[in-house]
Chains A and B, each alone.
Chain A
Amino acid sequence: MADLNTLTLAQARDALRKGETTAQELTQSCLTAIEGAAALNAFVHHTPERALEAAAAADARLAKGDAPAMCGLPIGIKDLFCTKGVPSQAGSRILEGFLPQYESTVSQNLLDSGAVMLGKLNMDEFAMGSSNETSVYGDAVNPWRRKDDSAALTPGGSSGGSAAAVAADLCLAATGTDTGGSIRQPAAFTGTVGIKPTYGRCSRWGIVAFASSLDQAGPMTKTVRDAAIMLGAMAGHDPKDSTSADLPVPDFEAALTGDIRGKKIGIPKEYRMEGMPAEIEKLWADGVAMLKDAGAQIVDISLPHTKYALPAYYVIAPAEASSNLARYDGVRYGHRAALDQGDGITEMYEKTRAEGFGPEVQRRVMVGTYVLSAGFYDAYYNRARRVRTLIKKDFEDVFADGVDAILTPATPSSAFALGQMKDADPVAMYLNDVFTVTVNLAGLPGVAVPAGLDANGLPLGLQLIGRPWAEADLLSTAYALEQAAGFVAKPDKWW
């Protein structure tokens, strides 16, 4: 058997059930890999003792034949999830020292399903970023490098630590969250699979909020099958989250037939952006051909309001964030600035938040405050909400026309170098989300599937967008694409 940490969830699960290995061996193998991967800066809080204990408990369950879906499978948890008794900082200094007394619903669901948590994963501060460079823990590093080039690349963001850890086989899978592309973009940059489920499929309870109407948790895995397995364990109705849907969770894995004959796949013309790299164009065309070969019907569609999505997103998300982040005030938990004699509550807020939040978070809080302020609310926030409704309607219209899924590129480029965007206009970074934000605004499920390598040998991903609540169908289409693409490349181990 190969190194245990390189197994997929499905492979490891089957091996455990056959008694070919143990959860403790699997976990130890991952812990060893993590120890050797400090250069990737993916895991930022390590919980090895807890992991080995959980693995032992999983082995006991396996021995009794009582093995739920994720039993004994070692995974990483994004730092945005509150995990009981384990530091949960959302990649921010302002939550320094914060130890939740509660476990997020999604991580609890995974633990209940037998998963073994190895530790917490790096991310952009408060999930605001597309390169993992806004993290208080420093950059997470992509295990992939350009051919004959040792420049450190971004794993994407905000779930950069999750993507790097899965791509580098430090864990079998990881949780991510996606507000504007934070699962799908890093998945595409690291040759992994990431699905953002329909808004409301996974509970948001216990996940540090960025933009409540857009945030959604999802799995980041090595294969589509793994995504199906893990999403099944994460999802479900939660009465503690009013926006969580009271719908049954289907058996996503059982639905992976890969048979997409007769399915209608829409190709939106508005996603053909000006200045799009030829490699991305080609990847997209290849994807179309693969699905067509697999028996799908390809149709050209129009999503006319696409060009307004990014501006609308960068009004709505900061607006919600400015309010959601108001609770980080130094009064009850986390970082509080040292005060000077005579400082009052206003100084405490100002100093605490100036020290606790990094520049990108501060920028978004200010943008959000501005767009909600008197006199600007209608021009920005209300207009953005109207755009959002129109974008949602664009999708509803094409689904009403019988389209089953929509194929687009996942990102406008492959992974870029860390530091490369340092002096760029922040908007240049925001353009990373151009293909993904529409899906969050419309609340739809979207999955990124690795589909090829660029000329530098870096992975590229395609995105499939599905109907609301049709993750099972979407994953089956993604499975067909994965089979057709036959993406098996792995990064050369340099770390």
Chain B
Amino acid sequence: MLDLTYDTPKPRVIAGAKYDWELVIGMEVHAQVSSNAKLFSAASTKFGAEPNANVSFVDAAMPGMLPTINEYCVEQAVRTGLGLKADINLHSAFDRKNYFYPDLPQGYQISQLYHPIVGEGEVLVEMGDGTARLVRVERIHLEQDAGKSIHDMDPNMSFVDLNRTGVALMEIVSRPDIRGPEEAAAYLGKLRQILRYLGTCDGNMQSGSMRADVNVSICRPGDYEKYQATQDFSHLGTRCEIKNMNSMRFIQAAIEVEAKRQIAIVEAGGAVQQETRLYDPDRNETRSMRSKEEAHDYRYFPDPDLLPLVIEQAWVDHIGATLPELPDAKKARFLNDFGLTDYDASVLTADLDSAGYFEAVAQGRDGKMAANWVINELFGRLKKDESTITQSPVSPGQLGQIIDLIASDAISGKIAKDVFEISYTTGRDPAEIVETEGMKQVTDTGAIEAAVNDIIAANPDQVAKARENPKLAGWFVGQVMKATGGKANPKAVNQIVAAKLKP
């Protein structure tokens, strides 16, 4: 694999009234495990079902019901860990996090506080300007999702939908290595890209498949480096956790406004209280969720209904052997094998569908040309229709045909765009379009020569000028193209015009 080296991005600096301040951010990302069944029950995880349709006796916490681990969810967590180059813990265990809430039927969430299944890993976050931040992942643990309380259906009643109850989540906890709002969004984006490549989470933030708790603190320039050297958190400011964010845009806004709030407090001589806050996008502010007195004591303890989770190294190895090519490796390969620019390689590896489409087009063709056609023509056209690559009316084979037609001089680049548009709107094969619509360019030098001769004969003055100034040859080329309806091979026309105009 290519050894990719990057410069690290500059941390975001916010100027306070008195000092400059830097941001320190850590994230806890809750990613819903792609699995048909829940973490501890066989109930379906399908999104959008009737309320309380996907609820087993276990999910409803009926008396005497017991959880049993869904092996596939464990496999997905291991796959995710391997995808983040993380340590896999062959021995992990489940704990109960106790609190009362109507959408938490057991009265506790089964999670992994003390012994998570995945240990230290990393995510390379590219910032698009050639810089990249290596964000360390502290741990990934498996846990149950809660249900949904609905308070706005009836003026006097609240309702509970337990469909989500018990759905498997991976909580991916980063170290405080993120240094600005843009980096936070880019980290989440990169994580989502990796999980989608792995097939372990669909990454759909709107439906709640991915949500983030964002820990924000501020420090003076130089303090973060002291923390890094010692891993001593006392060099950093007191953090606040902004809960349950599911929009990249809001995450950035929330970090910005929370940092400014903390700066104002500290510069006024106050102290930031460690607490959980919620972001209100309407008022662009964060608000305290609960006071210290109301803080939960979760009374974590090992879940006695579940044995420790012990997995075999051979099984982990097997999952590792079937891991797909991941974004960083794919991008490196695209750079290396197809000679793409960094930007094009990033765009084409953003998701598996785009990468797969591009590779099908580029197979046995010029990579740069393929990238150009996929990004500029196809993506541009799809964007105009608010459509996506999976809905493309032009197949990779058809786009390949267009490139082949250009390469074989059958059509010019200009005609190719017309052919693409016809193919896009009708779904017809480019080769057939060129044939049927008579769009094939004229490469018969005899015919071109005749056309050139006609124009030279009709324009003696122009000929004289062009012989003095060869730059004016272009006018003749244009006239020939006009006369041939744009179908003449421009290269051939250029050559013949140049030869004829030679003094």
Residues of A within 8 A of B (CB): 81-82, 88, 90, 95, 98, 100-102, 104, 204-209, 211-213, 239-243, 319-320, 322-323, 325-327, 329, 331-333, 345, 349, 369, 372-374, 377, 381
- Cα distance, A101 to B107, chains bound together (Å): 21
- Does A372 contact B63, Cβ atoms closer than 8 Å? no
Interface pick from B173-181, B296-304, B405-413, B452-460? B296-304
Closest 8 CB pairs of A and B: A326-B107, A213-B304, A212-B304, A372-B299, A327-B61, A206-B64, A208-B63, A82-B64
Asked if B160 lies at the interface with its beta carbon under 8 angstroms from chain A, I say: yes
In contact, A100 and B63 (Cβ under 8 angstroms) = yes
Binds A, one of B98-106, B216-224, B465-473, B480-488: B98-106
The yes or no answer to B57 lying at the interface (CB within 8 A) is: yes
Establish whether residues B64 and A205, one from each chain, have CB atoms under 8 Å apart when the complex forms. Answer: yes
Question: In the complex, which of the residues B65, B158, B297, B306 contacts A345, with contact meaning CB atoms closer than 8 Å?
Answer: B158
Determine the chain B residues whose CB is within 8 A of the CB of A239 once the complex forms. 68
**Contact indicator B305/A211 (Cβ below 8 Å):** no
Residue of B nearest to A350 (CB): B100
Taking a contact as CB atoms closer than 8 A, the residue among A95, A208, A211, A325 that contacts B304 in the complex is A211
Question: Is B257's beta carbon under 8 Å from chain A?
Answer: no
Question: CB-nearest residue of chain B relative to A327?
Answer: B61
B162 — nearest CB in chain A belongs to which residue? A332
Residues of B within 8 A of A241 (CB): 66, 68
Decide if A242 touches B64 in the complex (CB within 8 Å). Answer: no
Closest to B295 in A: A374
B342 to chain A minimum Cβ distance, whole angstroms, is 49
For A333, list chain B residues within 8 Å (CB). 62-63
- The reply on B69 being an interface residue by CB < 8 A is yes
* Contact call A326/B100, Cβ cutoff below 8 A: yes
A208 to B63, CA, bound (A): 5
Main DSSP-derived SS at the B contact region: loop
**Is A104 a contact of B64 with CB atoms below 8 Å?**
yes
A327–B102 Cα gap in the complex (Å)?
10
Taken together as a complex, chains A and B put the C-alpha atoms of A72 and B160 apart, in Å, by: 45
Residue B197 at the chain A interface, CB threshold 8 Å = no
A-contact 0/1 string along B42-82, CB 8 Å cutoff: 00000000000000010011111111110000000000000
Complex interface: chain B residues within 8 A of A325 (CB): 107
* Bound Cα distance A212, B110 (Å): 15
Q: Is the CB of B68 within 8 A of A242?
A: yes
A88-B63, A206-B65 are known contacts; what are 12 more A-B pairs with Cβ within 8 Å?
A82-B64, A100-B62, A100-B64, A205-B64, A212-B305, A242-B69, A242-B305, A320-B301, A323-B98, A349-B100, A372-B299, A372-B301
A-side contacts of B68, CB under 8 Å: 239-242
- Quote the shortest CB–CB distance from B102 to chain A (angstroms): 5
Quick one: which of B96, B105, B307 contacts A332, CB cutoff 8 A? Answer: B105
A208 adjacent to B60 (CB under 8 Å): no
30 A-B residue pairs with Cβ-Cβ distance under 8 Å, sorted by A, are: A90-B63, A100-B62, A101-B57, A102-B57, A102-B62, A206-B64, A209-B305, A211-B304, A213-B304, A242-B68, A242-B69, A243-B307, A319-B301, A322-B98, A322-B299, A323-B108, A325-B107, A326-B98, A326-B100, A326-B108, A327-B107, A329-B102, A332-B62, A345-B102, A349-B100, A372-B299, A373-B299, A374-B297, A377-B299, A377-B301
Chain A residues whose C-beta falls within 8 Å of the C-beta of B304 in the assembled complex: 211-213, 243, 320
CA distance A60 to B65 in the complex (A): 33
CB-CB nearest in chain A for B307: A242
* A204-B62 CB under 8 A given contacts A242-B307, A323-B98, A331-B105: no
Q: How many Å lie between the Cα of A323 and that of B298 in the bound state?
A: 11
Contact in complex: A323, B107 (CB < 8 Å): yes
Is A332 a contact partner of B61 (Cβ separation < 8 A)? Answer: yes
Given A212-B304, A319-B301, A329-B100, A82-B67 contact (CB < 8 Å): no
Q: Which residues of A contact B60 (CB under 8 A)?
A: 332
| Contact code string B295-326 (vs A, CB < 8 Å = 1, else 0) | 00101110011110000000000000000000
Complex CA distance for A377 and B297, rounded to whole angstroms: 11
Instruction: Enumerate chain B residues within 8 angstroms of A208, measured Cβ to Cβ.
Output: 63-64
A65 to chain B, nearest CB (A): 35
Chain A residues contacting B100 (CB-CB under 8 Å) are: 326, 329, 349
B254-285, CB < 8 A from A = none
Report whether A243 and B305 are in contact in the complex, using a CB–CB cutoff of 8 Å.
Answer: yes
Which residue among A209, A239, A325, A369 has the maximum number of chain B CB atoms within 10 Å of its CB?
Answer: A209
Q: Nearest CB to that of B108 among chain A residues? A: A323
**Alpha-carbon gap, A347 to B448, bound state (A):** 93
The chain B residue sitting closest to A88, CB to CB, is B63
Nearest CB of chain B from residue A83's CB, rounded to whole Å: 10
Alpha-carbon distance A243/B384, docked complex (angstroms): 58
Q: Give the shortest distance, in Å, between B113 (CB) and chain A (any CB).
A: 12
A98 x B63 contact (CB < 8 A): yes
Closest to B97 in A: A323
A101 to B63, CA, bound (A): 11
B305 touches A207 (CB 8 A): no
Which residues from A are CB-within-8-Å of B57?
Answer: 101-102
The residue in chain B whose Cβ has the minimal distance to the Cβ of A382 is B301
CB distance from A124 to the nearest CB of B (A): 16
Complex alpha-carbon distance, A106 and B105, angstroms: 25
Q: Is the CB of B65 within 8 A of A205?
A: yes
Residue in A88, A102, A327 whose beta carbon sits within 8 Å of that of B106 in the complex: A327
Residues of the B chain whose Cβ atoms lie less than 8 Å from the Cβ of A243: 304-307
Q: How far is the CA of A369 from the CA of B299 in the complex (A)?
A: 7
For the complex, give the distance between the alpha carbons of A176 and B300 in Å.
30
Q: How far is the CA of A326 from the CA of B98 in the complex (A)?
A: 8
Interface centre among A81, A213, A327, A333 (most CB of B within 10 A): A327
Residues of the B chain whose Cβ atoms lie less than 8 Å from the Cβ of A213: 304
CA A101 – CA B306 in complex, angstroms? 24
Question: What is the minimal beta-carbon distance from B295 to any residue of chain A, in angstroms?
Answer: 10
Q: How far is the CB of A127 from chain B (nearest CB, A)?
A: 12
Residues from chain B with a CB closer than 8 A to the CB of A101 are 57, 62
Chain A contacts for B67, CB-based, 8 A: 242
Contact A331 B160 (CB under 8 A): yes
Collect the chain A residues with CB atoms within 8 Å of residue B108's CB.
323, 326
Kindly name the residue among B61, B299, B300, B306 whose own CB sees the greatest number of chain A CB atoms within 10 A.
B299
Which A residues are CB-close (under 8 A) to B107?
323, 325-327, 329
Query: Scoring B residues 90 to 132 as 1 if CB is less than 8 Å from chain A, else 0, what string do you get?
Result: 0000001010101001111000000000000000000000000
Q: Which residues of A contact B96 (CB under 8 A)?
A: 323
Q: Using Cβ atoms and an 8 Å threshold, which residues of chain B touch A100? A: 62-64
